[in-house]
Amino acid sequence: MFDVKKTTAAVVRWTREFFEENGPDCNAIIGISGGKDSSVAAAICAAALGKERVIGVLMPNGEQSDLDMAQLLVSHLGIRAVEVNIRDAYEGALHALENGKYYEGMENITVTEQTKVNLPPRLRMAMLYAVGQSMNGRVANTCNLSEDWVGYSTRYGDSAGDFSPLSRLTVQEVKAIGRELGLPDELVDKVPSDGLCGRTDEDNLGFTYAVLDRYIREGVCEDEEIRAKIDEKHRRNLFKLQLMPCFPYTPD
């Protein structure tokens, strides 16, 4: 049985201890999207370190329809924040890729739609580390267990970070912690979406987080087709959670 009060106190304590060991004078740097994960992670850091040591980074790619939700979080927590638009960097990277100098034997690169989807989160992570290095910070990873379980993250994008308060907690558990920390309902219950294709995360996955969370915690999923889909996504995306494979050389 999930004990929200006990778990909330524990994750706040864990975050405080991480900073005591890995940067007692450092700030927590968090990419703020206005969704539940970044909102809850920011609230945890504010509770652990004090709002003055939390810096939110809002990173729209041009226009962002739900930017007001990110601004709501910043206002609610009273944390420092900066808005950095990545549109120029995104378009510049695509232009450089499409117009690169091709050497003999190399065909022109055709940029795929998936490349365009994954590039913004990777640019955002680079920006978070730039802010962190400039502001004496440690970058928060805001992924949760449910998303990680089925690989719903971008490697070296939102899956990166220096510390991860939510990666062992399911969506339902993250929401409960958000409520326990007093976040507004509109942030906790905001429907997750990539903001690109007009579809929700659950639309893209083909099942709900409630179903996924029950399967993770209880091993129960009545729909055999959905269970098979979850198992396959988990199998194919395990590499995202593992250290980079390296040649196991040992000197003779």
User: How far is it, in rounded angstroms, from Cα 138 to Cα 142?
Assistant: 13
Is residue 52 predicted with pLDDT exceeding 60? yes
Among residues 83, 44, 39, 38, which one has the least CA distance to residue 61? 83
Pick the range with the lowest mean pLDDT from 3-12, 79-88, 92-101: 92-101
> Residue range 213-230: average pLDDT?
97
Query: What global pTM score does this model have?
Result: 0.94
> How confident is the model at residue 201, as a pLDDT?
84
Give residue-wise pLDDT tens across range 107-154.
888 899 999 999 999 999 999 999 999 999 999 999 999 999 999 999
> How confident is the model at residue 195, as a pLDDT?
56
Class of residue 26 by CB neighbours under 10 A (exposed 0-12, middle 13-18, buried 19+): middle
Is residue 46 predicted with pLDDT exceeding 90? yes
> Residue range 191-204: average pLDDT?
72
> How confident is the model at residue 194, as a pLDDT?
59
Strands across the sheet containing 80-83: 80-83, 54-58, 27-31, 137-139
Q: Which two tokens stand for residue 122?
A: 């990777």
> How confident is the model at residue 196, as a pLDDT?
54
Is residue 243 predicted with pLDDT exceeding 70? yes
What are the Cα distances from residue 185, in Å, to 130, 177, 179, 200?
32, 12, 7, 18
CATH 3.40.50.620 correct for 4-191: yes
Residue 93: φ, ψ to 5°:
-65, -40
> How confident is the model at residue 198, as a pLDDT?
60
HSE-up (13 A, CA, CB side) for residue 226: 19
Is residue 197 predicted with pLDDT exceeding 90? no
Is residue 192 predicted with pLDDT exceeding 90? no
Higher pLDDT pick, 17 / 34: 17
> How confident is the model at residue 33, as a pLDDT?
92
> How confident is the model at residue 53, as a pLDDT?
98
Is residue 209 predicted with pLDDT exceeding 80? yes
Average pLDDT in the chain = 94
The residue ranges of every structural domain in the chain are 4-191
Higher pLDDT pick, 82 / 63: 82
